Chain A
Amino acid sequence: MFGNYDVPVNIAQEGISLSIQTEGGSLRYIRECLGEKVEKIILTNSSKILINPIEPLSKPKELTPYLLIELGNALVVEPKATQKVFMKFPIEIGVFISKDGDLEILDVFTLLKPKFTLYGDPRIGFICKYFKSDVYPSVPAADCLHEGVIELNITNTTTSWIEVTKAIFNAYGMKIYYNDNLVSMRANMKVKGAQIAESDFIDSPFETEMRKSLELYAVRKLSIASTKSVMELGL
Chain B
Amino acid sequence: MAIQGEFLKSEPYFSGLGEAGIEAVVRYVFEKRAVRGDILVFEGEPSQELYFVVEGVVKVFKTSADGKEQIFSIIRPGESFNDVPVLDDGANIFSAEAMGAVLLYGIRKKDMRAIIRENPQVAVNVVQVLSRRVQELVSLVEDLSFRHVTSRVAKMLVGYIGRGPDSVERPRLTQQEMAAMIGTAREMVGRSLKTLEGSGAIRIERNRIIIANQKVLREQAGLD
A joins B in a complex: no
> Which residues from chain A sit less than 8 Å from chain B, CB to CB?
none
> Which residues from chain B sit less than 8 Å from chain A, CB to CB?
none
